[in-house]
Amino acid sequence: MTTTDLIVLRAEGLYCAAGDFFIDPWRPVSRAVITHAHADHARSGHSRYLAHVKSEGILRTRIGADIALQTLEYGESISINNVNVSLHPAGHVLGSAQVRVENEGRVWVASGDYKVAPDATCVPFEPVRCDTFITESTFGLPVYRWRDDAEVFAEINTWWAENRDANRPTMLACYSFGKAQRILSGLDSSIGPVIVHGAVDPLNRAYRAAGVALPETKLVSEVTDKADINRALVLCPPSASASTWANRFKNASVGFASGWMQLRGRRRMGGYDRGFVLSDHADWPGLQSAIKATHASRVIVTHGYEAVMTRWLTEQGLEAGSFKTEYGDDAKESTHDAS
């Protein structure tokens, strides 16, 4: 990396020297631009935060109500030390954004996490023209190809209906922020009641407050009719599906919704009854089309299959390199955080 690069890697995170700010830094800094409110991208301890307006509620809940936070709408730009900064939809979760940085005629975009498939619970990904695109690569292998959400939701609803008919609870483990709400938006709530874990509930409230329509949900403590338990679909984080909290849902059929469920070995290793392939990250074709659409001549690959993507893009004639970031703790191994 030459010193003239607009964004470089520092021990604290991705750094824009011209504007003296960081993007999703993992160590405390004076000014942080946050792509989205997932814990590995939005950390505590920074002096000032900049994020999308729809990230505000969740950031304040997760990091602290009193953080110094400035918000932007998509497409709205501000100047930080004469560097033009704007946020653009990343289609990952509510309020997720790509960061566009413009200085002296050069345009760099840091993607954060993104997906290109439509999602009823957040604004869809928009490609932004740039010279250099910093892209994630969580699912940067050609075996990762997602099906349309409608097909996956139909599978989940069928499974739920079958369980209800067999008089057993349906428990679906998924990441609480983003994935849970996306699933909620695809559920057929005529099948039965929806119960959510305490970790999912505050995020549902944040989504509803941001104007996203979700079906009615209950906490298990709010269930008055015991018969509802066996008719219900229960959404919870993966850690809860094997905890004592889950004991109350006796004989539950347990599923897991994640991009990692694409691989049979992963499905079997997890020991879940069902694995649903549903990811908030771009699949292989999605990564390719997103990169192409930016028209960037240079691509810097972060968390995921950096080496594979870098080599592939180089062979496609692009200038490609990688940044070693601390997003997602070894995405290839994690089935919980980066799903």
Partner 1 sequence: MKRFSLLFQELDRSTATLDKVAALKRYYADASPADAAWATYFLAGGKPRQVVKTAELRVLAREVAQIPEWLFEEAYQAVGDLAETIALVLPTHSDAGSLSLAERVRERVLADQVPAEDCANRDTLSPTLPPGGREQQVRIDAGLAEWIEQRLLPLKSLDETERAKLIRSYWNELDTTGRFLLTKLIGGGFRVGVSKLLVQRSLAEHAGVDPKRIAERMMGFTDGTRSPTANEFLRIIRAENSSTTNANSESENGASIDASREPNEALSEPTEVNGQPYPFFLAHQIPFALAAFDEKLGPPSDWIVEWKYDGIRAQIVKRSDRVFIWSRGEELMTDRFPEIVEQANALPNGMVLDGEILVWKEGAAQPAPFALLQQRIGRKTLTKKVLADAPVVFMAYDVLENEQRDLRQFVQRERRVILEKLLSQFATKYLLSPNIAGQAWQDLETLRSESRVRGVEGFMLKHRDAAYGTGRTKADGTWWKWKIDPMTIDCVLIYAQAGHGRRASLYTDYTFAVWSRAPRDAAEAQQVIDNIADGKPVPEGAMTDVLQLVPFAKAYSGLTDEEFKRVDAIIRKNTINKFGPVRSVKPSLVFELGFEGINESTRHKSGIAVRFPRMLRIRDDKPIHEANSLSDLRSMLLGENIA
Q: Which is nearer to partner 1, 141 or 206 (CB)?
A: 141
Q: Tell me the C-alpha distance between 138 and 129, whole Å.
A: 22
Task: State the minimum distance, in angstroms, from the CB of residue 47 to partner 1.
Answer: 34
Give yes or no for residue 308 binding partner 1 (CB under 8 A).
yes
Please state the φ and ψ torsions of residue 97, each to the nearest 5 degrees.
Answer: -140, 150
Q: Kindly tell me which residue out of 286, 301, 325, 328 binds partner 1, with binding defined by CB under 8 A.
A: 286
Any idea which residue has 């830094």 for tokens? Answer: 25
The secondary structure of 118-184, three-state, reads CCCCCCCCCCCCCCEEEEEECCCCCCCCCCCHHHHHHHHHHHHHHHHHCCCCEEEECCCCCHHHHHH
Using CB under 8 A, pick the residue from 35, 230, 288, 339 that binds partner 1. Answer: 288
Q: Which of 28, 45, 75, 142 binds partner 1 (CB under 8 A)?
A: 142
Regarding 125 and contact with partner 1 (CB under 8 A), the answer is yes
**Cα separation of 22 and 10, whole Å?**
9
285 binds partner 1 (CB under 8 A): yes
Instruction: Give yes or no for residue 268 binding partner 1 (CB under 8 A).
Output: yes
Interface stretch with partner 1, choices 56-64, 75-83, 120-128, 170-178 (CB under 8 A): 120-128
Query: Binding segment for partner 1 among 23-31, 65-73, 182-190, 292-300 (CB under 8 A)?
Result: 292-300
122 binds partner 1 (CB under 8 A): no
Q: Using CB under 8 A, which of the segments 66-74, 126-134, 192-200, 226-234 binds partner 1?
A: 126-134
**What is the number of helices (H) and of strands (E) in the chain?**
9, 19
Residue 248 DSSP label: G
**Residue 42 vs 313, nearer CB to partner 1:** 313
What is the arrangement of strands in the sheet containing 233-236, beginning at the earlier edge strand? 218-219, 194-196, 233-236, 170-173, 253-257, 274-276
Residue 247 three-state SS: helix
Tokens found for residue 309: 């993507």
Residues that bind partner 1 (CB under 8 A): 116-118, 124-127, 129, 141-148, 151, 262-269, 271, 273-275, 283-286, 288-293, 295, 305, 308, 311-312, 315-316, 332-333
